[in-house]
Amino acid sequence: MHVHTPGERDAPVPAPDAGVSFVMPVLNEERYLEASVASVLTQDVDGPSELILALGPSTDGTDALARRLAAGDPRVRLISNPDADIPIGLNRAIAASAYPTIVRVDAHSALEPGYTRRAMATLARVRAANVGGVMRAEGRTPFQRAVARAYNSPIGLGGGAYHSGGSDGPAESAYLGVMRRAVLDEVGGFDESIRRGEDWELNLRIRRAGYRVWFDPDLAVAYWPRERWSRLVRQFRSTGTWRGELVRRYGRRNSLRFFAPPALVVAVAVAFVVAVLQLTGVLHGVWSVIASLVYLPLVAYLAVVIGYAAGGRAGPGIRERLWALLVVPSMHLAWGTGFLGGAARGARENVDTSRLRRNTPLP
């Protein structure tokens, strides 16, 4: 593909009533699917619309729920995604779609009222190929609310615009995304060899093809994070592993903020080695004092985490604040550990197992 200067090409603008296709990969989402689908079907759009659910091999009641939803509204269509991988499901749903604008929806999320109409107006105004907004994480339990608070904070996920907000303008990537089908066809759709970070890689190709990717802070999507600590850790380790793979493939095109969690992991590992050497007497005297400087970044990090957990808005209760003390380091260390492995060895078909096991009822 010829490389253009990013932003030099205008994406096509179909007629306002040409229709919109919503696409959603689904796997083990019995708890969230109905709310997500309802948020799509209540979107106000000009012209026809459809929602295509790419159903993976769920082990809960997701498929039965999806069939019921499809029976209740002719706009809902079901296709099979036996591979379960998100980019494969997205490509299958896009291939089955009928309209020139594609709206990606996550089954763990809900579009806010007016989302699609606003996105369509922004696409037409700036002639972008893809536009996205803010991921507004929400929680139903103290743990999930603690995770959501971390998602929405620069402390948790590094200050990306779609997590913590920003100004209207060109962007590196877009959360979920409202995309022009013609551009997706031109750049080859989602890369099915990438299981996490597929949106970033797609937007890189869109920008290299000369089109604009746009951030609109007035667009918002509600997102429900993982409900349990073990699933959160598995999710973040997988995401970090694939980011490491993307660094292997694309190097400096990755933002510097992606390197902060692996730096934390390295700092923890070095501090552990120094502590062992000090406790065993290998390091002593002036050398032990000098080596103790490695603890300073970790002390500063802990101070930031404690300050974050204790501070902020008045809303969080004590349980949510206590969970934050575990959630934030868990996110960073799991992601950083995965990143180092992915950067060193590649992702090697790594799978996010937090999506594969059956969701159990919340207490």
* CATH number of 20-225, picked from 3.30.420.40, 3.40.50.1100, 3.90.550.10, 1.20.120.160: 3.90.550.10
Of 17-26, 150-159, 162-171, 173-182, the poorest mean pLDDT is in 162-171
DSSP-assigned beta bridge partners for residue 179: 102, 130
The phi, psi pair for 10, rounded to 5°, reads: -90, 135
Residue spans of beta strands (DSSP E) within 72-145:
76-80, 101-104, 109-111, 130-137
Domain boundaries, the chain: 20-225, 250-353
Residue 362 has pLDDT above 60, yes or no: no
pTM for the whole thing? 0.85
Question: 272-317, pLDDT tens digit by residue?
Answer: 999 999 999 999 999 999 999 999 999 999 999 999 998 866 567 8
Residue 347 has pLDDT above 60, yes or no: yes
Residue 114 near residue 121 (C-beta atoms within 8 A): no
Question: 202-212, pLDDT tens digit by residue?
Answer: 999 999 999 99
User: How far is residue 169 CA from its own chain's centroid?
Assistant: 20
Q: How far apart are CA 154 and CA 170, in angstroms?
A: 20
User: Looking at residue 160, what is its pLDDT?
Assistant: 57
Q: How far apart are CA 28 and CA 196, in angstroms?
A: 17
Mean pLDDT, residues 9-20 taken together? 94
